[in-house]
């Protein structure tokens, strides 16, 4: 087959595929491939049309901006066409752009450029008549867009009446509707709570919100707007540079990018690109590159346009943060706290500046919602230092057979029931998205976190045993569970990095001292999920002895103050694992002990139902002692004062909490009155 005929067939295929993606992106706000993949298709078609000019057709997508407007919206013809920008991806392409500009301006030595972030949102045009907002429309196909005026009126950041002065009778202001990152996260939380579909990214959320048929829905969405240019009416403004134009838009009341400025030459462009790239993750909104425009408006007019884009401007795109690849397996990883995370194993793909082979699937519910299966082509995202994640499946690329062409497509993902690290049960609490390993003290993946918690000041209080030393002990294979701590010797510890004999002696002494503890501290030190200090004290008081706790079922556990079904289930699961019982037995055998006590009456307490706040320095009692006394009497201790607070116990140098109590009319007592309450009741 002749070479040009092959090229013609490929061009037809590319045009059809690009138009399909244009339809999804511009008309339905539901792109099916990452921007980088679309750019590859677009540039491939441009390359063929450049190599074989006869292949360039009047309806080629390289001559168009987007897609025709939806029939649900009234069409609006722009006074001045809304063109797109050509893209640069490499420094050499930016340098070539600067050279073309200088050549077009009769080879001047250096050009001043207005530079600004490239917002990742939906381009719109706003028409103002005599300073009053008349209508607004989407870009559409560049010539005609969709009239979305009622929806745009709901944007609080968009001026309905221009401030200042100097605007002509009719003017088109160009800009971008977008959604800030924080607002996008909050919107998806609300979508999830209502059981509605979540948005893939802020750009989709903004576009979908603006193109609602019911403007009340748009009004409920947190949309923002930034202006970046003028269409019709620009010739009447009398400004000479793009920088002056942006200042004028700001004076009229439009939000504009704070990061805009003017730089000189290709070196200035590339330096700005590097600067914004370093700030990208910290910006409150998504950007996918920066835009360079010749600053002098007269020079812009001199350079003019080519087909669908201006010669005086270009978009310099960041490396793609999204890419396509194939899932070759789904495993689960166990985190330091026992959280089970499904992870997709991927065909290697370069994205976000690195080669990615694994991506998080977050949790079982997310895997099912996205329906990720082995063999699927997926969109993978990596932004900055964020862990790579699978954003979505590309449904049309799903195979009907497995990778070997023999068996049907793999079934949906099912969370394993046993931990891959320790074979303990995997459980998920009521109304929880995250499944967890119940291995606790025994699970290798949780070992370091469990040991650090065990040694903490409010637990077994082993002074000198911090995170770094725990890492060394585990990595050296010296400690596998808390019980192994009590077999460490000075000689063994002294060989560790930056330890020394004196430090080793101090640590061994601290470990020995920790053997004398309380039942409440011991329970808390075990790191049982949902069992904090207060609950551990309640358990110790109610049952008196560890044996009674170990023998209790869920019903018996729920007789304890503030122990409900969730806490009882966590306790029962921990107790039910034989390896946890073995470690407890080893700790007791190593000499860990506490004073014996009898179970207490579970009847009414003197301070039951009362909430206290402690502030200032008490004359006799320490803050922890007072807190323990309140909880022992059935009361609760809060860290802040509110209308629900019953008493504020104030000592010397009481500050804002005392002021708040007086402001709200909460009863304030001193230590003597507090002790009287404990003796006499309320």
CA dihedral 562, 568, 571, 576 (to 10 degrees): 160
Residue environment code for 550-568, b if the CB has 16+ CB neighbours within 10 A, otherwise e: eebeeebbbebbebeeebb
Phi-psi label, residue 423: left if phi above 0, alpha if psi -120 to 50, beta otherwise: left
- In this structure, what token pair is assigned to residue 182? 């924080």
**95 exposure class (CB count in 10 Å sphere: 0-12, 13-18, 19+):** middle
| Those residues with Cβ within 8 angstroms of residue 281's Cβ, 6 or more apart along the chain or in another chain | 383, 384, 385, 386
Other beta carbons less than 10 A from residue 522's beta carbon: 22
| Those residues with Cβ within 8 angstroms of residue 125's Cβ, 6 or more apart along the chain or in another chain | 78, 82, 136, 137, 139, 145, 172, 173, 174, 231
Pick from 658, 674, 678, 655: nearest CA to 666: 658
* Active-site annotation holder among 40, 71, 118, 605: 118
| Those residues with Cβ within 8 angstroms of residue 96's Cβ, 6 or more apart along the chain or in another chain | none
- In this structure, what token pair is assigned to residue 304? 């003019």
Angle, helices 623-632/533-543, rounded to nearest 10 degrees: 50
| Those residues with Cβ within 8 angstroms of residue 662's Cβ, 6 or more apart along the chain or in another chain | 668
Angle, helices 447-455/467-475, rounded to nearest 10 degrees: 140
- In this structure, what token pair is assigned to residue 647? 């008493």
Pick from 542, 544, 545: nearest CA to 558: 542
For 481, which DSSP code? Answer: S
Give the torsion sign (CA, 397, 401, 403, 409): positive
In contact, 196 and 221? CB cutoff 8 Å:
no
CA dihedral 306, 312, 318, 322 (to 10 degrees): -30
Phi-psi label, residue 389: left if phi above 0, alpha if psi -120 to 50, beta otherwise: beta
**Distance of alpha carbon 194 from alpha carbon 443, whole angstroms:** 36
Identify the residue whose tokens are 């009414």.
Answer: 604
In contact, 532 and 525? CB cutoff 8 Å:
no
**Distance of alpha carbon 338 from alpha carbon 333, whole angstroms:** 9
| Those residues with Cβ within 8 angstroms of residue 156's Cβ, 6 or more apart along the chain or in another chain | none
The partner residues of 241 in beta bridges, in order of sequence, read 296
Alpha carbon of 542 to those of 520, 562, 585, 637, 679: distances in Å? 11, 12, 21, 19, 21
* 240 classed as catalytic: no
Q: What is the 3-state secondary structure (H, E, C) of 404-453?
A: CCCCECCCCCCCCCECCCCCCEEECCCCCCCEEECCHHHCHHHHHHHHHH
Residues catalogued as catalytic = 118
């Amino acid at each position: 087959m002749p070479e040009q005929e092959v090229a013609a067939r490929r061009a037809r295929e590319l045009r059809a595929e690009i138009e399909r993606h244009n339809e999804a992106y511009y008309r339905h706000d539901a792109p099916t491939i990452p921007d980088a993949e679309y750019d590859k298709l677009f540039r491939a078609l441009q390359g063929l049309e450049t190599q074989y000019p006869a292949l360039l057709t009047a309806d080629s997508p390289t001559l168009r901006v987007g897609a025709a407007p939806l029939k649900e919206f009234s069409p609006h013809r722009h006074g001045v066409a809304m063109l797109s920008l050509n893209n640069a991806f490499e420094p050499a392409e930016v340098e070539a752009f600067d050279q073309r500009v200088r050549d077009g301006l009769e080879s001047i030595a250096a050009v001043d450029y207005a530079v600004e972030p490239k917002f990742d949102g939906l381009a719109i045009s706003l028409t103002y008549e005599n300073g009053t907002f008349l209508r607004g429309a989407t870009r559409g196909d560049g010539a005609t867009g969709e009239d979305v005026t009622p929806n745009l009126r709901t944007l609080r950041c968009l001026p309905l009446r221009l401030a200042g002065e100097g605007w002509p009778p009719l003017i088109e202001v160009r800009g971008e509707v977008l959604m800030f990152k924080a607002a996008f996260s909050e919107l998806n939380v609300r979508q999830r709570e209502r059981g509605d579909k979540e948005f893939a990214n802020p750009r989709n959320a903004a576009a979908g919100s603006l193109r609602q048929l019911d403007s009340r829905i748009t009004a409920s969405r947190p949309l923002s707007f930034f202006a970046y240019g003028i269409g019709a009416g620009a010739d009447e403004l009398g400004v000479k540079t793009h920088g002056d134009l942006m200042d004028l838009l700001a004076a009229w009341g439009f939000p504009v990018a704070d990061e805009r400025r003017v730089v000189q030459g290709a070196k200035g462009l590339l330096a700005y690109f590097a600067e914004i790239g370093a700030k990208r993750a910290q910006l409150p909104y998504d950007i996918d590159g920066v835009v360079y425009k010749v600053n002098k408006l007269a020079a812009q007019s001199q350079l003019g346009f080519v087909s669908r884009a201006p010669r005086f401007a270009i978009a310099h795109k960041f490396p793609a943060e999204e890419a396509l690849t194939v899932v070759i397996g789904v495993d689960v990883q166990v985190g330091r706290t026992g959280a089970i995370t499904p992870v997709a194993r991927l065909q290697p793909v370069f994205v976000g500046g690195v080669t990615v082979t694994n991506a998080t699937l977050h949790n079982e519910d997310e895997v099912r919602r996205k329906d990720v299966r082995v063999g699927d082509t997926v969109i993978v995202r990596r932004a900055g230092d964020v862990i790579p994640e699978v954003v979505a499946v590309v449904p049309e690329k799903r195979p009907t057979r497995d990778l070997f062409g023999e068996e049907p497509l793999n079934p949906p993902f099912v969370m394993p029931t046993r931990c891959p690290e320790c074979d303990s049960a995997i459980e998920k609490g009521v109304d929880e998205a995250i499944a967890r390993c119940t291995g606790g003290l025994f699970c290798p993946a949780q070992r370091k976190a469990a040991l650090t918690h065990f040694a903490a000041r409010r637990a077994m209080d082993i002074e000198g045993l911090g995170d770094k030393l725990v890492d060394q002990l585990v990595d050296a294979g010296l400690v596998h569970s808390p019980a192994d701590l009590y077999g460490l010797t000075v000689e063994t510890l002294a060989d560790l990095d930056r330890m020394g004999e004196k430090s080793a002696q101090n640590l061994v002494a601290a470990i020995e001292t920790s053997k004398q503890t309380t039942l409440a501290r011991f329970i808390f030190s075990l790191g049982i999920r949902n069992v904090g200090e207060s609950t551990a004290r309640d358990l110790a008081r109610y049952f008196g002895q560890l044996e009674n706790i170990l023998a209790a079922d869920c019903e018996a556990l729920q007789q304890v103050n503030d122990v409900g079904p969730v806490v009882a289930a966590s306790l029962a699961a921990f107790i039910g694992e034989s390896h946890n019982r073995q470690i407890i037995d080893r700790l007791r055998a190593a000499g860990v002990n506490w004073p014996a006590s009898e179970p207490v009456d579970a009847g009414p307490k003197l301070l039951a139902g009362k909430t206290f706040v402690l502030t200032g320095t008490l004359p006799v009692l320490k803050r922890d002692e007072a807190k323990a006394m309140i909880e022992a009497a059935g009361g609760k201790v809060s860290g802040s004062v509110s209308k629900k607070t019953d008493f504020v116990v104030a000592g010397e140098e009481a500050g804002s909490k005392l002021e708040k109590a007086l402001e709200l009319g909460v009863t304030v007592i001193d230590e003597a009155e507090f002790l009287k309450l404990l003796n006499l009741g309320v």
